[in-house]
Amino acid sequence: QKEVEQNSGPLSVPEGAIASLNCTYSDRGSQSFFWYRQYSGKSPELIMFIYSNGDKEDGRFTAQLNKASQYVSLLIRDSQPSDSATYLCAVIRAGGYQKVTFGIGTKLQVIP
């Protein structure tokens, strides 16, 4: 079992729709959860981070964390073509200090 699992996609959504990106992790003691966006040929950039169970909203983005189910998601409302990228889920395990484990990433395509 991979430490961080994501569906590689591609996930295609029409412009203006809600994109839902999902991630599961294997270490129940994981502490911190991040969503990075990576455009093709570019380096990752942080979109959201979440530490506590529940929802965290920032503009069009909402991160959701359910530690009991070991599940973290990212919702993108009013999706735009510029949101087309690969979204990487990343986790810091308990006792892992700054060591971040990334998932494979989900490729999102927003269709105009």
Partner 1 sequence: GAGVSQTPSNKVTEKGKYVELRCDPISGHTALYWYRQSLGQGPEFLIYFQGTGAADDSGLPNDRFFAVRPEGSVSTLKIQRTERGDSAVYLCASSHGTGYEEQFFGPGTRLTVL
Query: Which positions lie near partner 1, rule CB under 8 A?
Result: 4, 8, 31-32, 34, 42-46, 49, 51, 88, 90, 92, 97-105
Contact criterion met (CB below 8 Å) for 5 and 25: yes
User: Quick check: 65 and 50 in contact, CB under 8 A?
Assistant: yes
Q: Which two tokens stand for residue 112?
A: 């105009």
Least Å from the CB of residue 69 to partner 1: 21
Which of these, 79, 31, 73, 43, lies nearest to 59 by C-alpha position? 79
By C-beta, is 18 or 46 nearer to partner 1? 46
Looking at the Cβ atoms of 101 and 109, the one nearer to partner 1 is 101
Closest to partner 1 by CB, 14 vs 28, is: 28
Distance CA(62)–CA(92), nearest Å, equals: 19
Smallest distance, Å, CB 96 to partner 1?
Answer: 8
